A = this chain, B = another copy of it.
């Protein structure tokens, strides 16, 4: 931090298990990634290369080297995993991860149908060599999951070897634990937290209102994801109670 302010809330530091921020890079250039790290490197814990943008983005190797140099883990979006899987190219996918020294992998079924047992098998398989993030929830707004099913899936995926489970929200923040309006499904979130440890969940929360909601409801050590690179600094101020929306949250405690 650039100067001294008293009475700030406790804030976890790197490497973080709680209060961590996953940023979504959907096609930064190497130089833009450098800029991003120079400003927000201390507050971004992991970077997702959104869905399959890594397939077509120029400068991928250079950018991955920059993130590696900054010791910020990177993983490919789950949609890329699904694209390889549905084409029976999982071996190619593993070669790709190896080639790029990628250490984290997302296992998801947001765009494809998959037997639960198959998903657990894949999580276990990848967990042998990678840190696995698995995602629960469909990208399809019409596929609503009952709360007990959310809990069951999340617990089973963690049991299968996932490091953290991600709740799907999309870049737009309008599916999964959010209604199509972008509002959070409070009851569902409460139910999930009754059964799954908070630090094992990564909530996708691309919109400021959602970030505010999670910080207010769950504390500043909530794990949040799908944060646009230029929103990582604004999010950090929310976590510290240094933006209007959370200004009084930590002062009053």
Contact = CB atoms under 8 A, between A and B. Distances in A.
Interface of A: 1-7, 26-32, 35-36, 38-43, 50-60, 79-80, 82-84, 86-87, 89, 92, 96, 110-112, 139-140, 170, 172, 208, 230, 232-234, 236-237, 240, 242-245, 247-248, 251
Contacts of A40: 27, 56-58
B2 A55 contact: yes
B247 A79 contact: yes
A74 B216 CA distance: 31
Nearest to A51: B243
17 contacts: A1-B55, A2-B54, A3-B96, A5-B83, A5-B87, A26-B230, A27-B39, A27-B230, A27-B232, A27-B234, A51-B237, A51-B242, A79-B243, A110-B244, A111-B244, A111-B248, A170-B244
This chain: copies in complex: 3
Contact of A38 (B3, B30, B112): B30
Given A2-B56, A52-B242, A56-B233, 10 more contacts: A2-B55, A2-B57, A5-B55, A6-B89, A27-B230, A27-B234, A40-B58, A51-B242, A52-B240, A170-B244
Contacts of A50: 234
A38 B29 contact: yes
A4 B58 contact: no
A197 to B, nearest CB: 27
Nearest to A244: B139
Contact of A80 (B1, B236, B242): B242
A241 to B, nearest CB: 8
B237 A56 contact: yes
A105 B230 CA distance: 25
A12 to B, nearest CB: 14
A82 B43 CA distance: 23
A51 to B, nearest CB: 5
Contact of A244 (B3, B59, B79): B79
A233 B55 CA distance: 9
A86 to B, nearest CB: 7
Contacts of A208: 172
Contacts of A110: 244
B52 A39 contact: no
Contacts of A244: 51, 79, 110-111, 139-140, 170
A233 B51 contact: no
